[in-house]
Structure 1
Amino acid sequence: MVTAAPRAALRPALEVAAEVPDPELPMLTLADLGVLAAVEQQGDAVTAWLTPTYSGCPAVAEMAADLAGRLRAAGYREVDVRLRLDPPWSTDLITEAGRAKLAAAGIAPPHAAASSPGLLTLGRTRLAVVCPQCGSRETEELSRFGSTSCKALWRCRECREPFERIKEI
């Protein structure tokens, strides 16, 4: 009598999902960025929830495809990736590890929001922005718009190096 070999245990879906890199900020995972809102696992079926940085985020389709692909490659047969817009994403959801990875990559991380939950402040920052190259607080904003809509272009007055900065939302 021939019996089927037992199926190998699957890595937890949350563990797999938490390792998926962000397509626009590849030094961060979706978990570091705070867009991986939840992962529900039942056997080899998974539902993963993403909260995009904003409702029109052009990278959300790629995030969902990458996430689904990684989960399927890990052995999950039924994978459903859904969007969750409430509560909305904010830069406060970026983990401390994510903030450190941004700085190590030469991108100034956002400050923690000073407003009440649910209130969105879109004005320019009044707090000192630290240069990710040399650590100086002598920096200036060159352009409110950077390579993506969530970034601004800054320059350090001491080392003279330009750098991107994630805007607070």
Structure 2
Amino acid sequence: MPPPVAAPTALEQELLRLAGQVPDPELPMISLAELGVLRGIRVTGPGRVQVELTPTWTGCPAMDAMASDITGVLHGAGMAEVAVRTVLSPAWSTDAISAEGRRKLAEAGVAPPRPQTFGGPAGSAPVPVDLAIRCPHCGSTDTRLLSRFSSTACKSLRRCESCREPFDHFKEV
């Protein structure tokens, strides 16, 4: 049985808050906390901290930028040594994006990912959900896939058939 995890200290909570405010390098309208990739922070000694970060996609090219940005913020908060560790389990999914992150994506013209599952009654298994992709410009669900890939691997390019505007859609994982 693994040892119990200690509750985060006030310093760890503050460092987590600061690191969580770092904007995603590919989607700067949302923070790493809102994206759900910042898994935890642990102070390992005086001026030393370990950060756990989970990539959104295997081989995500933004991981180095995220680690660098977090390191800069935590150095600014007095941490002399910052170690950023990649954590792959549990795997990240788009369900980790917060409601605020989804709102900010849509506000910036990026259709947020659809929920992957609907949690039924307590104790029941999740039920897969197939929802239409809503246009972030006019709200129509009459949208069409133009390309499976857009400016980044995590987004597809779509067009709204109602307002005719193209838009990115953050793909579900």
Q: TM-score range by the shorter chain?
A: 0.7 to 0.9
Structure 2: unaligned runs, 5 residues or longer: 1-10, 120-127
Counterpart check, 1:147 vs 2:164: no
Query: Which runs of structure 1 show a deviation greater than 4 angstroms over 4 or more consecutive aligned residues?
Result: none
Deviations 1:34-93 (A, max 9, x none): 110111135532111100012211110111011111100121122111100111111010
Distance 1:133 1:110 in 2: 15
Which residue in 1 is equivalent to 2:166?
162
Letter in 2 for 1:73: G
Question: Does the CA-based 8 Å contact 2:56-2:92 persist in structure 1?
Answer: yes
With 152-161 and 41-50 compared, the bigger mean Cα shift is at: 41-50
Distance 1:46 1:101 in 2: 30
* Aligned mate of 1:28, from 30, 40, 44: 30
Letter in 2 for 1:150: C
Question: Does the CA-based 8 Å contact 1:50-1:81 persist in structure 2?
Answer: yes
* Aligned mate of 1:94, from 93, 97, 107: 97
Which residue in 1 is equivalent to 2:52?
49
Number of aligned pairs? Answer: 154
- TM-score w.r.t. the length of structure 2 is 0.83
Please give the residue correspondences for 1:104-119 in structure 2 after superposition, counting only pairs within 5 Å: 104-114=107-117
* Aligned mate of 1:135, from 135, 139, 142: 139
- TM-score w.r.t. the length of structure 1 is 0.84
Structure 1: unaligned runs, 5 residues or longer: 1-9
Structure label with greater radius of gyration: 1
